[in-house]
Chains A and B, each alone.
Chain A
Amino acid sequence: MACQRFAAAIRAHALGAPLAGEAAVHLTACPVCQAAFDVESRVLATINEALTDVASATPSLHFESRVRAHVEVAAPRWALRRWLIPSAAAALALLAVALLVPRWAPEPSAPREIASIPVEVPRIPAAGSTIEDAKPAGTELTKRRARRGHVRPASESRAAAAPEVLVPERERAAVGRLAASLRTGRPDVVSMLMRLRGGDTVSDTQALTIAPLRIDPVVISEIPGTAAILDK
């Protein structure tokens, strides 16, 4: 009866709990309870023995370095940012340079080989019409905008007053002659086709003459044996 009363306390004692005075006296006097206490102690010793497995387990030699490598592979965004920010800044700087450099570049000087010369392009008036009729009429939209003052009428523009054509300097003389020939109604085809090299200038249209095409005379002779066929 007393054993049952102290059984829980004795088991608790085996687990490390202190034993009250009366239970302690009973334990020292009762062989049954001593046996029960012994079993409990051995169970706990077995448990502790198994748990020492955890305490004694050690990771492999390079465990820490492998963890480090694993962590680096699975680096989070904030760790990548360490490299991302300088890279992004460099990319932005390059982009800015690429965008700004063309604006900062010096204005191209007046083309060395290109010059503008006023060219008058005569309009060929239709029969019975006046020169005024030949002026460009402009579209309906242009007219409307001109009325509102948004644009000047084409006839008032500087281009209309003195039309400019960009012509390479070395071809300027030739183009001038072409324009003059057009004006006179005698187009000089040679001027149109010529291509000067090495800065040569042409001052005389005679220099632009090309050798006439040589055409050999065609000799027509009879093919032997065909006379009879032709006679039929």
Chain B
Amino acid sequence: MHEWVGRWPDSLVSDDADLEREFEARLRDSSRLAFSIAYGVLRNRADAEEVAQDAFARAFGRFRQLREREAFRSWLTRMTWRLAIDRWRADQRRTAREDKAAAEPVSPNTEDVASARERSAHVWMAIEKLPEKLRLVVVLSAIEGHDMREVATLLGLPEGTVKSRLFTARKTLAENLRWLVSDLPPR
């Protein structure tokens, strides 16, 4: 008992140092993932970096509570996604307030789809209208190197579920964006 009492601060301090080292390793491993997820929602580099930073700060604060350290990436994915969505919604509300009078809803006409950039903007608008669970799958699968298995691991879902969600998402997008290509010349 006496020995334990004498040693406990040391053990706590060394535990904390180990945790910090482990978190540092996770940060190196997952910083790009957090950024890409945030970027997939916000599509603005500075905003995405800010959200990723916040996500890591939160993750660091709760890192001790994370029992399965192997699930860190999955945990970080959900956290980043949630923060990015919150930020995106706040931005949407602010933009709606600021541009209420000036903004015109984007109408699908041939003028709007003149450039690839505009097409991309329409695609993202359609992605943003997807239900959240479909949207998350679309963004995660778009991140380089993420196959179905990786996305399933990140989301903690069966691979079949991820496949099904991605299929539904793409089908919904295709239905909503078919007008976009109807006037385009065939490749």
- Determine if B49 and A63 form an interchain contact, defined as CB atoms under 8 angstroms apart: yes
- Determine if A51 and B60 form an interchain contact, defined as CB atoms under 8 angstroms apart: no
Within 8 A of A (CB), among B13-57: 13, 16-17, 19-20, 23-24, 27-28, 31-32, 35-36, 39-40, 43, 45, 48-49, 52-54, 56-57
Jot down 24 A-B pairs with beta carbons below 8 A, ordered by A.
A11-B171, A15-B170, A42-B186, A45-B187, A46-B177, A49-B119, A50-B123, A50-B124, A53-B43, A53-B120, A54-B139, A56-B144, A59-B45, A59-B48, A66-B53, A68-B24, A70-B53, A71-B27, A76-B64, A78-B16, A78-B64, A81-B16, A82-B16, A89-B9
A39 contacts chain B at the CB level, 8 A cutoff: yes
Given the known inter-chain contacts A60-B45, A63-B31, A67-B52, please indicate yes or no for A81 contacting B12, CB distance below 8 A.
yes
B163-187 near A? 1/0 per residue, CB < 8 Å: 0000100110110011011101011
SS class of chain B's interface: helix, strand, loop or mixed? helix
- Determine if A52 and B142 form an interchain contact, defined as CB atoms under 8 angstroms apart: yes
A32-60 near B? 1/0 per residue, CB < 8 Å: 00000011101111110111111111111
- Determine if A42 and B142 form an interchain contact, defined as CB atoms under 8 angstroms apart: no
For A74, the chain B residues whose CB sits under 8 A away are 57, 60-61
Within 8 A of B (CB), among A66-101: 66-68, 70-71, 73-76, 78-79, 81-82, 85-86, 89
A141 contacts chain B at the CB level, 8 A cutoff: no
- Determine if A57 and B39 form an interchain contact, defined as CB atoms under 8 angstroms apart: yes
- Determine if B35 and A59 form an interchain contact, defined as CB atoms under 8 angstroms apart: yes
A231 contacts chain B at the CB level, 8 A cutoff: no
Complex-state Cα separation, A47 to B68, whole angstroms: 36
Q: Would you give the shortest CB distance from A160 to chain B, in whole angstroms?
A: 53
